[in-house]
Amino acid sequence: MSSLKDIILANINEIQATQVEKFKDKAADIEMFRVKYLGKKGIIADLFEQFKSVPNEEKKELGKSLNMLKVAATEKIEEFKAYVEAHQEQALTGDLTMPTDFSSMGSRHVLSVVMNEIVDIFSRIGFTVAESVEIEDDWHLFSALNFPPEHPARDMQDTFFVEKEEGKQEVALRTHTSSVQVRVMENNKPPIRIIAPGRVFRNEAISARAHCIFHQVEALYVDKKVSFADLKQTLLYFAKEMFGEQTQIRLRPSYFPFTEPSAEMDISCGICGGKGCNICKGTGWLEILGCGMVDPNVLKACGIDPNEYTGFALGMGVERMAMLKYQVRDLRLYFENDLRFLKQFDTIV
């Protein structure tokens, strides 16, 4: 029986040997190739599932091989796309000397529109924007946020590590904008009231529901006597401003390493009015963000006395907000620069 490593290497060889010239319907065949290897139920996703049961002492080498396989598949797809685009350009017909129509103007991307709207809502109640680097060290990304050493988010299948040398602090593309909150708390005394919008990265297979690049907006409020009631009222205000005055919210207990207690927030479905439809899967509710009171260990790690100060934090995905607000069904549409999709949002101010 072949080992997991042999299977990975065999797939790498198969990918490298695949030639686009043999495809009959190149565009369709490239998509089939992508689904085969990078789809949610594809070969690489299945291998990552098997990887979870591998002994810890073998994970480092196998994890490296899996990343090589994923990179090989991604590079081959890009090679195929470039080939198809080059041959399409050669097939262009028509009078190329015709004057260009400059009357068509560009517009902001739908993700920029939604992110700006979220930031604007929080700015009305005193939150200021904070930004930081996209390549972070382990302390700001995990340790200061109360992530234990064995937490799954530290595994290679979730994080893009930039530098992982023995004896050195790990460096990775940030998996959340919570690292911005850590840097702000380290360098500022309370009261702190900030919102952190930005791009984040996770090592996930690209599909209609997931992407390796996405955007988050997180908020943090630290001061004396901040309570869960303050958090709830902030969330209710945001939901009504973002989705309409009729919107209702509910909070469900959850778990995050950096907040205690923690909660997931749902809003009433605006499509069916809470009666139940295919968008909300018949429940009448849609999950939109996670939140909670800042864990005292996080405050202490950032040099803030948890006996004197408390705080709340919340975070949401911008793509998720845009999907709910504009009924977008496929995350990949945000990144493919298809003008047929983007022009639908020209009129959004």
Domain assignment present for residue 167? The answer is yes
* Residue 10 shares a structural domain with residue 68: yes
Domain assignment present for residue 107? The answer is no
* Residue 44 shares a structural domain with residue 181: no
Are 289 and 263 within 8 A, CB to CB? no
Any bridge partners for residue 294, and if so which?
Answer: 259
* Residue 171 shares a structural domain with residue 80: no
State which residues form the domain around 147: 127-336
Per the structure, the count of domains in the chain is 2
Angle at alpha carbon of residue 71, lines to 69 and 72, rounded to 5°: 65
* Residue 159 shares a structural domain with residue 280: yes
* Residue 221 shares a structural domain with residue 294: yes
* Residue 133 shares a structural domain with residue 265: yes
Q: Which of 28, 51, 85 is the last residue of a domain?
A: 85
Domain assignment present for residue 163? The answer is yes
* Residue 137 shares a structural domain with residue 78: no
User: Residue 241 contacts by C-beta under 8 Å, 6 or more apart in sequence?
Assistant: 121, 124
- Calpha distance 134→173 (Å, rounded): 6
* Residue 28 shares a structural domain with residue 145: no
* Residue 59 shares a structural domain with residue 166: no
Domain assignment present for residue 108? The answer is no
Domain assignment present for residue 237? The answer is yes
What does the pLDDT read at residue 255? 92
Are 276 and 303 within 8 A, CB to CB? no
Q: What is the pLDDT along the chain (349 residues), one digit of tens a residue?
A: 357 777 877 887 888 778 777 676 677 777 888 888 888 888 888 888 887 887 887 778 888 888 888 888 888 888 888 877 776 655 555 666 777 766 666 778 889 999 999 999 999 999 999 999 999 998 998 999 998 888 777 765 678 888 766 667 788 899 899 999 999 999 999 999 999 999 999 888 888 777 888 899 999 999 999 999 999 999 999 999 999 899 999 999 999 999 999 999 999 987 777 777 777 788 889 899 999 999 999 999 999 999 999 999 999 999 988 888 888 888 888 888 888 888 888 766 5
What does the pLDDT read at residue 341? 86
* Residue 290 shares a structural domain with residue 165: yes
List Cα–Cα distances, 5 to 52, 60, 193, in angstroms: 14, 12, 49
- Calpha distance 174→177 (Å, rounded): 7
Domain assignment present for residue 327? The answer is yes
What radius of gyration do the chain's Cα atoms show?
23
Structure tokens at 41: 């139920």
Q: Which of 53, 70, 85 is the last residue of a domain?
A: 85
Q: Domain containing 195 — which CATH number?
A: 3.30.930.10
Task: Residue 217: name the closest of 240, 242, 189 by CA.
Answer: 242
Domain assignment present for residue 206? The answer is yes
Domain assignment present for residue 341? The answer is no
* Residue 176 shares a structural domain with residue 311: yes
What does the pLDDT read at residue 1? 39
Are 199 and 230 within 8 A, CB to CB? no
Q: Which of 61, 85, 109 is the last residue of a domain?
A: 85
* Residue 223 shares a structural domain with residue 304: yes
